Amino acid sequence: MISRRARGLENFVMFAKCGALTLAFWLSFAAMQLRDTDMDKYSMDRYFLYNLATITGLLLASLREEGPRFGTIGQNDFLRAMREAFRDLMYVFAALAVNLVLTKDIAISRVFLVFFGVLLFGTLFLFHRRFSQLAARWFYGGAQRHNTLLVGPLKRARQLESWLRGVSRYGIHTSGLLTDAAGQDKINIPILGSPEVLPSILEMQSIQSVILLDTPSLERMLRFMEWTEAQGARLMVLNTLAEDLERPLQYYRHLGVDFITFREEPLQDPGNRFFKRCFDLILAGFAVAFVLPPLALAVWIAQRLQAPGPLFYRQARAGMRNHAFEIFKFRTMRVSNNDPAMQARAEDERIYRFGRFLRRTSLDEIPQFLNVLLGDMSAVGPRPHMLEHNTQFAKVFHSYHIRTFVRPGVTGLAQTRGFRGEARSTSDIQQRVQCDLEYIESWSLGLDLQIVLHTILQVVRPPKTAY
């Protein structure tokens, strides 16, 4: 009900703005006629197209606004109204300029542009400053005012105070709160009793809506529905599921079926996966063609002098959906290492001297771009761990295996935030996994590029946790 009221008011104000823009447009056209007697060179049909272009610009400006288009009704101060009017004006004139460029039209009157710009800015300023507020009072005052009763914990009512002040512009008036908690002086809403007195309150007062502040049991929900519907009142329930479960939720509807899921996964979109794979191939192709060969030669020479043995170190790691694959790295430990599963530590005696440099700068990871070309890894993603460590870490953090929803990466969000090296505590593991989950839920090409650039900086200036 509240969202319908808000959307309806937004649509009305948008329609009125377009009407006011059109009025300002043709008033400016009339002013141009009075000033310029030679009107044969100005075609009304052409100016009609200009008018359509300006309306298009205004509509585009409304789409660029963050949040509800008129969510600040009644709160627009002078400077904010000026700023929003100027933004709308820029979109309108940008759309008009695009129209002129596409039609190669240079006949538009400068006098008209000056008149129209000044008149439209003043009109838009009044809309953002006053009109939206007046429209809200007109639509939702008097008989359209809804008295609303809150039922539930005092804590949640206090959390909703700001929201309640905001929706008051849509005619939603808070009449009181029914709660088991005492202490009326702790909240600016009258406390009328316990939730069990709801039927009598509905009979004595004119209440149009009841909002439950927590999710009740099915039996209690049916009882509240019976009470409210018997008195012709609406019942709404505050969705507290995300708060109760202590994690964000995603709601969606597909083919008439409603779902709740706990993760947003941008890389389930085939288009996103395609662009990420293109990014991987470009980056890995460059690294394998131009960085890997000279670096491999330098590493080979250092190994011959300090720790003879194979150039690459190969090891089974857990990949996407925990499928094992063989990872490539420059060997940084001596061949005599008798415990490959043990995590490297600071001042680890198994690491030869040049190997320490490779590990500190992460250059030992460069051969993993071969894994990227093979499709086992991505340039950016959660770091792949040994199979033994996967089992250990999963016991520490119950959401650990969620990170396998995507391909592991040569670098990742956790690494750019300094979470690298030996995982010494439960907190170390949790912080890394939290970064991995954040990456999975907020992936974008821009984020991948940011992580890659940050990683390059860490090659030049390694963090203290790099060893």
Per-residue pLDDT reduced to its tens digit, 358-369: 988 989 999 999
Per-residue pLDDT reduced to its tens digit, 71-97: 444 445 788 888 888 999 999 999 999
Amino acid 303 reads Q
**pLDDT bucket at 261, cuts 50 / 70 / 90:** confident
Q: Give the pLDDT confidence score for residue 102 in this predicted structure.
A: 85
**pLDDT bucket at 436, cuts 50 / 70 / 90:** very high
Most confident of 302-306, 384-388, 389-393: 302-306
Q: What is the DSSP string of 46-97?
A: HHHHHHHHHHHHHHHHHHTSSSSTTTTTTT--HHHHHHHHHHHHHHHHHHHH
Q: What is the CA radius of gyration of the chain?
A: 32
- Report domain extents, the chain: 2-140, 145-262, 268-460
- Give the global pTM: 0.64
Q: Give the pLDDT confidence score for residue 74 in this predicted structure.
A: 44
Q: In 3D, which of 423, 355, 358, 418 has the Cα closest to residue 385?
A: 423
Instruction: For residues 429 and 436, give the distance between their C-alpha atoms in angstroms, rounded to a whole number.
Output: 11
Given this structure, which CATH class describes domain 145-262? Answer: alpha beta
Q: Give the pLDDT confidence score for residue 67 in this predicted structure.
A: 43
**Mean per-residue pLDDT over the chain, rounded:** 84
Q: Give the pLDDT confidence score for residue 71 in this predicted structure.
A: 42
Q: Give the pLDDT confidence score for residue 72 in this predicted structure.
A: 45
Q: Is 314 helix (H, G, I), strand (E, B) or coil?
A: strand
- Percentage of the residues of the chain whose pLDDT score is greater than 90: 34
Arithmetic mean of pLDDT, 1-17: 80
Arithmetic mean of pLDDT, 28-45: 71
Residue pair 417/435 in contact by the 8 Å Cβ criterion: yes
Instruction: For residues 37 and 443, give the distance between their C-alpha atoms in angstroms, rounded to a whole number.
Output: 60
Instruction: For residues 307 and 351, give the distance between their C-alpha atoms in angstroms, rounded to a whole number.
Output: 9
Q: Give the pLDDT confidence score for residue 337 in this predicted structure.
A: 64
Query: Which carries the bigger pLDDT value, residue 194 or residue 277?
Result: 277
Residue pair 128/81 in contact by the 8 Å Cβ criterion: yes
Q: Give the pLDDT confidence score for residue 66 in this predicted structure.
A: 45
Angle between helices 110-126 and 2-35 (to 10 degrees): 150
Residue pair 69/84 in contact by the 8 Å Cβ criterion: no
Per-residue pLDDT reduced to its tens digit, 57-75: 998 888 765 444 444 444 4
Q: Give the pLDDT confidence score for residue 215 in this predicted structure.
A: 81
